[in-house]
Amino acid sequence: MKAQITPIKKLSYLVLWFVLFSFFGHGQKKSINAGWQFKLDKDASVWETINIPHTWNLKDAFDDEAGYYRGIGHYKKQVFFAESDAAKVHYLRFKGVNQDAKITVNGNLVGTHQGGYTAFTFNISAFLNFGAYNLIEVIVDNSHNEDIPPLDADFTFFGGIYRDVELLSKPKQHLALTDFSSEGFYVNYPSVSEEKAQLEVTARIDNFEDAQSTSQLRLEVLDANDSLVLSENENFKFTAIGALEKSIKFSDLKNPRLWSPERPYLYQLKIVLLDDQGVVLDRKTQQIGFRWVSVDASKGFYLNGKPYKLIGVNRHQDYDAYANAVPMALQKQDIQLIKDMGANVLRFAHYPQAQELYKLCDQLGILVWTEIPIVNKITNTKAFFDTALKMQEEQIKQYYNYPSVVMIGYMNEIFLRMDFDKKTPQAEKDQMKTHTYDLAEQLEKLTREKAPHHITVMALHYNELYNETKIADLPMLVGWNLYFGWYYETIADLGVFLDEQHQRFPNRPIMISEYGPGADVRVSAAQPERYDYSQQYQLKLHSSYVEQVQARDFVAGMTAWNFADFASEFRGETIPHINQKGLVTNNRVPKEIYYWYQAVLLKNTPVVHIANYQTDLTLFDNAPYEMTLFSNQASAKLSVNNAFFKEVTFNAGIARVLVPFTDGLNTLSLETASVIDEATFQVRRIESLKNEELKSFAINIGASIDFKDLETGVTYLADRPYKDGLYGYDSQSGKCERKLLANNIKNSNLEAVYQHVLVDCSRYKVAIPDGSYKVTLYFVEPQQTNQEHVIFNLNRQAEASEEKEQRIFDVLLNGTVMVSSLNLAKEYPNKYGVQHSFEIDILNNEGLTLTLKPLEGAPVISGILIETL
Ligand code: GCB
């Protein structure tokens, strides 16, 4: 049966499908997620009932203590099998268990699996009792294991059975389930063009029947209207127990509708396995898409024969209150958010993620880079190499059929640890380079062999080691993870680096696989600068990166780090244990940058957005205030307090407008003929504190950022030198240096206040009017650290310094000693956020003067909160 089908034939086909699918049992798949018993190894005997997805690190990966439980957890469950099930073959499929799993059924070892991000399937038939309950036990271990990647990485290795568990029951002959836990068939597109597409399916069939029998594979391709466009039948004979592989070539499909992010046209492939009586033994449905991709060192990425700039994001799988055990509906929402942002590419980093998401990428039109988690370093053992290779084959076979998947990777920044390792002798490092190259070469070879129509990729960090070892020459496309203007150098140095690489390696296709600064929705900066976590700096960096990439045809594209803030237990940023480089927060609230991407990437949906960095604005003069607006339109109308203000024009999605705010509530609206965005701002204009009724006034001493504590509603304003009538440090009273700490502060959610310190400044003035106040001062000892030295944290040099100076000072308010001989290091052994509160009457128009009188070393302070009593 070939491509051309008449309407009558079509009808009879539909009837046949209906008959085949409705009347014959062809096996069953059900998830067995509910009601497992669980206990941690360390908590002796108490079993708790849980549902899967599950992780045991939900709390301890986010608490004040450094580290989280990495050890063994036990799961068990009873499952009933009827007498009639004895005729079938039964499999357990685990879609994700982090990271080492041992499965037993009725006390018998079924198998083990290493690696937390790929599925695995075991045939459990031999261990089952029919007409009875059967005990399934899983021992899971997320301890560090030198033989299982990842060894080390900037994300939390949550332990547990965190993806679905399925029970599959099949007739004796069925599409293989244990070929690296794939679906038992592989879809290839040997050649695709606008005129015609070739399609080939390789199916692997397992036979558990010890007899000769004839079978048939029936394959059909339906278009999006369910019309049959291709079909093939293949008869074959089983001769013995075992696996059989069949490759089925379809006749060419004329004028295929092509798949692309703009038009993700999908066909359905149906595969049915029948016995000689025509009884259905097994069936599968797979969405397929015809497209072809390539990369070129000077022209970048090509999709369906046309140059195509990839712009999108990376994604980690964890989510706020769920850690890595995230309901599927929420995960799918992520992919929709990524699409709605205008992204055309998604890098699932640093590990394969839930298969449902790849399917959604097929449907929504998002090109995918998938990779296995060999991150930062390797171990030179046979066990590590074997696990890595097996993991890659699992990834390839499990994710092979998604048309969205075009790039397959296997290493991320593999020389990062070596780069920061100052101890290991050079000779040893050189050997490690050779071993690492060796593993990369094996993985590259395996990938090209098993996935001959995909693009192989690898992500590198900013270091010459990749060029020097030539490891960067192995993959077909190199991704550079570049943090110019964040960890090092300036934003503009990105282009310099890209040009230099292109000049030195003119035949190597490259893209930017990661970039981005940390940002916090509570932080706002009038003068954004690196490390300040302001949303303004995030815009500055991202917008420049996009511009620099767009100006260079040879750069295939870019994927922002990261779609969402994600868990990294050892990090100490303004939100403890979180890497804050997301375009949305860890519970998926879009940061302003998300809307900017919409404004530059969305072509057909009009976008207008008023950047809402801060909704409470404290202004210290009468000048208009600069607002940032986003749109993908040429211009839009801005109204202030319901009156037309001006027509604004946009450049690269951005307009900056000076807005004359009035005191109190202000409403802005930005509109075009078809869309409108509105935002309200509470404005407090203070020209002299002396004239104000200050209910509360807070200062982020030593900081250039405003920080709004969302729990109390208090905004800690950026620091400044003292000016009559206002507040600030007296720059004559010492060096008055601003310093930034990179560490978690215990017992506080005010990291963005504590982490900024003003060092060596003895006098601080706040010109508050007469009255009775409660004054709270915030201190932290900058020399204390809670955690071991972390290479990803900022200011690593400063924090690594071993020299500790003694620091003792008196604290005075308007000349009265409130704390004498404050020695933070002595009183607070860890990095505690320390608050001291006092009540004080201000009289005679004297305002408030805070004196930090040094007794030994330089005094420090982080903030002040003044509240009217
Ligand atoms: C990188 C890593 C990624 C980190 C990121 C960062 O280059 O590939 O895992 O999370 O940098 O934020 O430092």
Q: Looking at residue 266, which CATH number applies to its domain?
A: 2.60.40.10
Interval between CA 365 and ligand 1 midpoint (Å): 26
- 624 and 700 within one domain: no
Residues 442 and 335 in one domain: yes
Q: Which ligand 1 atom minimizes the distance to the CA of 579?
A: 12
Sequence-distant (≥ 6) Cβ neighbours of residue 16 within 8 angstroms: none
Helix (H) or strand (E) holding 842: strand 834-842
Name which of 218, 296, 274, 293 is nearest 250 in CA terms.
218
Q: Is the CB of 154 under 6 A from ligand 1?
A: yes
In this structure, the residue with its CA closest to atom 13 of ligand 1 is: 792
Residues 230 and 129 in one domain: no
Please check whether residues 806 and 834 belong to one and the same domain.
yes
Question: Which residue among 632, 660, 685 closes a domain?
Answer: 685
Please report which confidence band the pLDDT of residue 827 belongs to, taking 50, 70 and 90 as the band edges. confident
Cα–Cα distance list, 4 to 191, 234, 427, 520 (Å):
20, 18, 66, 58
| All residues at 6 or more sequence positions from 678 whose CB lies less than 8 Å from its CB, including other chains | 610, 667, 668, 669, 670
Query: Quick one: which of 189, 215, 214 has its CA closest to 201?
Result: 189
Residue nearest ligand 1's atom 2 by CA: 154
Q: What is the CATH number of the domain that holds 316?
A: 3.20.20.80
pLDDT at residue 14, rounded to an integer: 45
* DSSP letter, residue 102: E
* Ligand 1 atom at minimal distance to the Cα of residue 413: 8
Q: Does ligand 1 have an atom closer than 6 angstroms to the CB of 598?
A: no
Q: What does each C-alpha distance from 509 to 195, 484, 549 come to in angstroms?
A: 28, 20, 14
Percentage of the chain exceeding pLDDT 90: 87
Residues 387 and 258 in one domain: no
pLDDT for residue 741 = 84
Ligand 1 centroid distance, CA of 422 (Å): 20
| Average pLDDT along the chain | 93
Q: Is residue 438 part of a domain?
A: yes
Region of residue 808 (left: phi > 0; alpha: psi -120 to 50; beta: else): beta
Does residue 442 sit in helix, strand or coil?
helix
The pTM (predicted TM-score) of the whole model is 0.95
Domain end (from 174, 199, 225): 174
User: For the residues 346-358, what does the mean pLDDT come to?
Assistant: 98
| Mean pLDDT within 251-255 | 97
Residue 513 domain-assigned? yes
pLDDT of residue 787 exceeding 80, the answer is no
Name the DSSP letter for residue 88: S
198 in the same domain as 159? no
d(CA 144, CA 115): 12
Give domain status of residue 123, yes or no: yes
Q: Please, what's the largest Cα pairwise distance for the chain? A: 106
Asked whether 761 and 733 are in contact (CB, 8 A), the reply is yes
* Assigned domain for 705 exists: yes
669 in contact with ligand 1, CB cutoff 6 A: no
Distance 349 CA to ligand 1 centre (A): 10
Span 496-527, pLDDT tens digits: 999 999 999 999 999 999 999 999 999 999 99
* Cis ω for the linkage preceding 150 (within 30 of 0): yes
Does residue 412's CB lie within 6 angstroms of at least one atom of ligand 1? yes
pLDDT of residue 2: 38
Residues 104 and 165 in one domain: yes
DSSP 619: E
**Residue 608 is assigned to a structural domain of this protein:** no
Residue-wise pLDDT for 640-667, tens only, equals 999 999 999 999 999 999 999 999 999 9
CB atoms within 10 A of CB 668: 22
Q: How confident is the model at residue 27 (pLDDT cuts 50, 70, 90)?
A: confident
What does the pLDDT read at residue 792?
A: 61
Q: How confident is the model at residue 790 (pLDDT cuts 50, 70, 90)?
A: low
Q: Which atom of ligand 1 is nearest to the CA of 568?
A: 10
Least confident of 296-300, 678-682, 693-697, 731-735: 693-697
- Confidence band, pLDDT 50/70/90 cuts, at residue 19: very low
Across-strand partners of 484? 488
Confidence of residue 478 (pLDDT cuts 50, 70, 90): very high
Q: Could you tell me if 162 and 98 are in contact, meaning their C-beta atoms sit under 8 angstroms apart?
A: yes
Nearest-CA neighbor of 575 among 754, 717, 714, 699?
754
pLDDT given at position 45: 75
Using the mean position of ligand 1's atoms as its centre, give its distance from the Cα of residue 69 in Å. 23
* pLDDT score of 552 more than 90: yes
Residue having the nearest C-alpha atom to atom 4 of ligand 1: 154
The best mutation among 377, 478, 792 to test binding of ligand 1, ranked by most ligand atoms within 8 Å of the C-beta, falls on 792
What does the chain come to in residues? 869
Question: Is there a single domain that holds both residue 429 and residue 342?
Answer: yes
Specify the pLDDT at position 793: 55
**Pocket of ligand 1, candidates 154, 531, 579: which has the most ligand atoms within 8 Å of its Cβ, to mutate?**
154
What pLDDT does residue 87 have? 95
Phi-psi region of 489 (alpha: psi -120 to 50; beta: other; left: phi over 0): left
Atom 10 of ligand 1: nearest residue by CA position: 154
Asked if 582 and 639 sit in the same domain, the reply is no
Ligand 1 centroid from CA 154, angstroms: 6
**658 and 709 part of one domain:** no
What's the mean pLDDT in 766-789?
84
What pLDDT, on a 0 to 100 scale, did the predictor assign at position 162?
Answer: 98
Ligand 1 centroid vs 482 CA: distance in angstroms? 9
Same domain flag for 694 and 681: no
pLDDT digits (tens, 9 = 90+) for 359-369: 999 999 999 99
Full domain range(s) for residue 248:
7-27+190-288
Residue 208: is its pLDDT beyond 80? yes
Query: Please, which residues bridge with residue 679 across strands?
Result: 668
Decide if 769 is inside a domain. yes
Closest listed residue to residue 237, CA positions, set 267, 253, 215: 215
* Ligand 1 site, residue 579, Cβ cutoff 6 A: yes
Q: Is the CB of 481 under 6 A from ligand 1?
A: yes
**Ligand 1 pocket check for 531: Cβ under 6 Å:** no
Query: pLDDT per residue over 381-421, tens digit each?
Result: 999 999 999 999 999 999 999 999 999 999 999 999 999 99
Positive or negative CA dihedral for 100, 104, 107, 108?
negative
Cα–Cα distances in Å, from 635 out to 596, 626, 673, 775?
Answer: 15, 18, 11, 48
Measured from the CB, is residue 514 less than 6 Å from ligand 1?
yes
Mean pLDDT of 550-575: 96
pLDDT at 831: 67
Does residue 210 belong to any structural domain of this protein? yes
Average pLDDT score over residue span 457-480: 98
* Cα separation, 397 vs 270, whole angstroms: 18
Q: Is the pLDDT of residue 718 over 60?
A: yes
What was the pLDDT predicted at 95? 98
Domain count, the chain: 5
- CA 729-731-733 angle, to 5 degrees, is 95
High-pLDDT (> 70) share of the chain, %: 94
**In this structure, are 373 and 463 located in the same domain?**
yes
| Distance between Cα 249 and ligand 1 center (Å) | 43
> What's residue 498's pLDDT?
98
pLDDT at 25 over 60: no
Position 692 confidence tier, pLDDT thresholds 50, 70, 90: confident
Is 598 inside any structural domain? no
Ligand 1 site, residue 461, Cβ cutoff 6 A? yes
Instruction: Give the residue from 650, 685, 720 where a domain finishes.
Output: 685
Query: Which CATH number fits the domain that encloses residue 93?
Result: 2.60.120.260
ipTM, two decimals, is 0.99
